[in-house]
Amino acid sequence: MRVATGLAFAAAMLMTTAVRAEDLAVKIGVLSDMSGLYADLGGPGSVTAAKLAVEDFNPAAHGLKVEIVSADMQNKPDVGANVARQWFDVDHVDMIIDVPNSGVALAVNEVAREKNKVFIVSGAASSDLTGAKCSPDTIHWTYDTWMLANGTGKALVKSGGDTWFFLTADYAFGHALERDTTAVILANGGKVLGSVSHPLNTSDFSSFLLQAQASKAKVIGLANAGGDTINSIKQGAEFGITSGGQQFAGLLVFISDVGSLGLKTAQGLVLTETWYWDMTDANRAFTKRWQASHAGKFPTMVHAGVYSGVLHYLKAVAALKAASDGKAVVAKMKEMPTDDPLFGKGSVRADGRTIHPAYLFEVKKPEESKYPGDDYKLRATIAADEAFRPLKAGGCPLVTN
Amino acid sequence: MFTILGHPSQQLFGQLLLGLINGSFYALLSLGLAVIFGMLNIINFTHGAQYMMGAFVAYILLNYLGINYWLALIIAPIVIGAIGVVIERLFLARIRQLDHLYGLILTFGLALIIEGLFRNYYGSSGQPYAVPDSLQGGHNLGFMFLPNYRAWVIAFSLVVCFATWFAIERTRLGSYLRAATENPTLVRAFGINVPRMVTLTYGFGVGLAALAGVMAAPIYNVSPQMGSDLIIVVFAVVVIGGMGSIMGAILTGFALGIVEGLTKVFFPEASNTVIFAIMIVVLLLRPAGLFGRSV
């Protein structure tokens, strides 16, 4: 009996080695907000996007065997860091992607650096991830606070909105967004009249809106996201902010937010994104496939970023024929130009920043929208070399003059 | 215009009024909790989910059936109240003899399931719901712009709160209810159907949550987690007011709304925390709550 078990065990070991010899096993962990306020802009939709990327890459043809796992970081840095440790140490995860919360992303960034594993940020915004906190293991894919500030902030100051008041979510992301936007406003000759920090997940914004109203600022900058942005705009309409001549700047607004605000409330809102589902045929085709698992919803730029990030990662791993050394994979990803159906051609910079164009959109009026999801009209395209913070301005230690 | 601690008085008056509006929601929700706890001895953790369901019923009525806000104000509490009655019959009635903890865990589990179902179907970012046409716009009060809808929320919740208090503390039906909590066996001996009364009380408490949900739909984001964001605060309100005290729940609801409103001016970062700080102080000084009787 014992001999038989021993033989079976030995046979099993041999079989696994046999598989290993043929196919390189790669494990990707989608770490996202699966149940909270950011679950619609990332969450299960990010898992779908990652699966589609793996499907399109066709791992078998490249000698890879890719597995995707996912977990909920609950918007808590400690939970996110623990999952990351568990994944890297115990579950042999090679790469973590998404993490739509800057606080959590900064924590995971440190874990990935320590364990020398790849971290691709799609959902988080803080530009510190490629600035002071940049890491040789981290790539920031989709967007960041500097790019949002530069897109929306600059456009509004240029069109006359030169005095600002901020409603800021009181954590890493909100403060980074306020800081980056303030820099853009001042650089373009505007002024910041004041700001108020509110706790994450606030349901009533009327007090803060009243303070913003009293400031007489022309633009009320919303340095928050998800449900907080929705509540701010919804209640702002009620308190006559927009009819009183003040204007909202949704510094981070996703198409999922516009859907829950409704075009009637959201119309005229100016926002910056790097991807919109209805821009190209390739985007529409991706949306259709993505919607097979999420009927009636529309993918956000975060979902598109997960798709594109996973694809580029797999290309790099296939080229290296190894996934265990995070720094080597990231170096390879920086070396190879990016090219995929959703973001087109681009590159990954030395500080980990992925470079592609950004788009300034305006939310359509209800009568301009012809079909569900027909929410944006393009106001301007910000060229790839202007969309993101100049390499040397970020203070990233990886960048040597 | 004078200033208080560096803030213009106008701004403070505005915050007081806004605090009162938020207080109306706290009062309505904590009232339902207090009624349920007072009569059933159940700590109803499903309350937040029932509030959320109220808002969603309003959304569903409007978007699928074209039924407006005013009818939703009536229909949603009845629908959700009826679901509450089923929950009471199926689950709560069976654990009445057991420790509070069982009811707490049961209702908490139900809340998680309900939220999960709604999230699965509607996603987490929420659904749009507009302010009814007749309450659009607002008035400039000199110190602040008061939207008509908010004025309606204060007025209506005051009426509902007072009516509930009156029904329980001053009517014959209310006296049966209170007697049945003290000594159910004796009240049954008088030929009163106590279990049915208890079931209906639960249905009523849940209906109040749904009503608050409908009232919240036009101003807060209608999302599956809207209840869990609010319910923790409401529990703190009930604890501060004293579990089971009807008047206590109403008064503390409004008072804490005001305290929170003022915190949003002086120290906005703490506005989600201030109520819990008060709760700790109250529990240390008066463990039964401000209006509670010590048992």
Residue A15: pLDDT over 70: no
Mean per-residue pLDDT, A74-94: 95
User: Nearest C-alpha of chain A: how many angstroms from B219?
Assistant: 6
Q: What is the pLDDT of residues A22-61, one digit of tens each?
A: 689 999 999 999 988 888 899 999 999 999 999 999 999 9
Measured between CA atoms, the residue of chain A closest to residue B123 is A40
Q: What is the pLDDT of residues B195-220, one digit of tens each?
A: 898 899 999 999 999 999 999 999 98
Please report the number of interchain residue pairs, chain A to chain B, with beta-carbon separation below 8 angstroms: 122
Nearest to B150 by CA among A235, A201, A214, A202: A235
Q: What is the pLDDT of residues B117-139, one digit of tens each?
A: 998 888 887 888 988 988 888 88
Would you state the structure tokens that stand for residue B9, as one six-digit string?
């008085």
**Across the interface, do A41 and B138 touch by the CB < 8 Å criterion?**
no
What is the overall mean pLDDT for chain B?
88
Please tell me the distance from the alpha carbon of residue A208 to that of residue A10, in angstroms, as a whole number.
67
The least confident of A62-71, A300-309, B220-229 is B220-229
What torsion do the CA atoms of B248, B250, B256, B262 make, to the nearest 10 degrees?
-140
Measured between CA atoms, the residue of chain B closest to residue A226 is B125
Confidence band for B1, pLDDT divided at 50, 70 and 90: very low
Q: What is the pLDDT of residues B24-65, one digit of tens each?
A: 999 999 989 888 888 788 889 999 999 999 999 999 999 999
Of A199, A261, A297, the CB nearest to B123: A297
Q: Which amino acid is at B232?
A: I
- pLDDT number for residue A199: 87
Of B14, B116, B222, the CB nearest to A210: B14
User: Nearest C-alpha of chain A: how many angstroms from B127?
Assistant: 4
- Inter-residue long-range contacts of A2-6, CB under 8 Å, 24+ positions, other chains counted: none
Instruction: Give the helix/strand (H/E) hosting A167.
Output: strand A163-169
**Residue in the block written with tokens 């329980």:** B168
- pLDDT number for residue A238: 86
Of B147, B149, B271, the CB nearest to A199: B271
Would you state the structure tokens that stand for residue A331, as one six-digit string?
């170096």
Span between the terminal Cα atoms of chain A, in Å: 67
- pLDDT number for residue A105: 96
**Across the interface, do A38 and B119 touch by the CB < 8 Å criterion?**
no
**Across the interface, do A260 and B271 touch by the CB < 8 Å criterion?**
no
Query: CB A340: neighbour CB atoms within 10 A?
Result: 21
Confidence band for A200, pLDDT divided at 50, 70 and 90: confident
**Across the interface, do B123 and A230 touch by the CB < 8 Å criterion?**
no
In contact, B236 and B282? CB cutoff 8 Å: no
3-state secondary structure B55-80: HHHHHHHHHHHCCCHHHHHHHHHHHH
Q: List CB contacts of B209: < 8 A, sequence separation 6 or more.
A: B28, B29, B32, B47, B48, B50, B51, B54, B80
C-alpha pair distances (Å), A392 with each of A385, A395, A401, B95: 13, 6, 8, 66
Residue B124: list chain A partners with CB under 8 A. Answer: 35-40, 43, 227
- Inter-residue long-range contacts of B278-283, CB under 8 Å, 24+ positions, other chains counted: B278/B236, B278/B240, B279/B236, B279/B239, B279/B240, B282/B239, B282/B240, B283/B239
Structure pTM? 0.83
Would you state the structure tokens that stand for residue B75, as one six-digit string?
């229909």
Instruction: Give the helix/strand (H/E) hosting A198.
Output: strand A191-198
Confidence band for B143, pLDDT divided at 50, 70 and 90: confident
